[in-house]
Amino acid sequence: MTDGERTRIVEELVEQHSLSLYRFAYRLSGTAADAEDLVQQAFLAAQRKLDQVRDPEKTRSWLFTIVRNTYLKSRRSLEFKQFDAFDGMADPAIEDEGPIDQEELQAALDEMPEDFRIPLILFYLQQMSYREIATQLSVPEGTVMSRLSRAKAYLRRRLISRLGDAAPAGLAADASS
């Protein structure tokens, strides 16, 4: 592959995937600057490793994996929270609960352990299937479903504690049961 062909392909990838990668990176990192850096690093890696792509249909997933791995590498020095704190939590749905402030949502996502946050973002914001997420994270589909369940419960509790009396009625009622 010539340098010109490689550049053309990467430009097409940027055009097709930069917005969804940025949204994903922003939800992971919580800041625009970090999200931009993650996306830029993903496209740089893609340009260097473009020859590794065997199936063009999987390029999107490959780019998301690069963003996720780059983010996790940058966070390795931080202490990760344990899953045990979430055992026994309910699995309430978080849809149709009224408007949630985006800053409050991002703050709650920032506090969530990556093992819950990543599947939640991939499922709800990137519309990936359980199977796609399982493949991306190298875990069974049942683990993805479990992590999504725990992530929703965690998010609900965090939003209720942050919003207090301002929490939508359905959100607060579900959390008290």
Domain ranges for the chain: 3-75, 91-176
pLDDT digits (tens, 9 = 90+) for 32-69: 988 998 899 888 888 888 877 778 788 888 888 888 88
Distance CA 118, CA 102 (A): 17
DSSP alpha helices (H): ranges in 30-81?
32-48, 59-75
Task: Of 54, 66, 52, 76, give the one whose Cα is nearest residue 24.
Answer: 66
Span 79-89, average pLDDT: 34
Query: Which token pair is 110?
Result: 């920032």
Q: What is the pLDDT of residue 165?
A: 53
The backbone region for 85, taken as left when phi is positive above 0, alpha when psi lies in -120 to 50, beta otherwise, is alpha
From 3.40.50.720, 3.40.50.970, 1.10.1740.10, 3.40.50.300, which CATH number describes the 3-75 domain?
Answer: 1.10.1740.10
DSSP label at 80? P
Q: What is the pLDDT of residue 162?
A: 64
Distance CA 43, CA 18 (A): 9
Domain over 91-176 is classified CATH 2.102.10.10: no
Res. 140 pLDDT band, cuts 50 70 90: very high
**HSE value, Cβ hemisphere, 13 Å, CA-based, for 95:** 3
Q: Residue for token digits 């609900």? A: 156
Span 120-137, average pLDDT: 86
b/e per residue 82-103 (b: at least 16 CB within 10 A): eeeebeeeeebebeebeebeee
Global pTM reads: 0.52
Distance CA 10, CA 2 (A): 12
Question: Does 79 have pLDDT greater than 70?
Answer: no
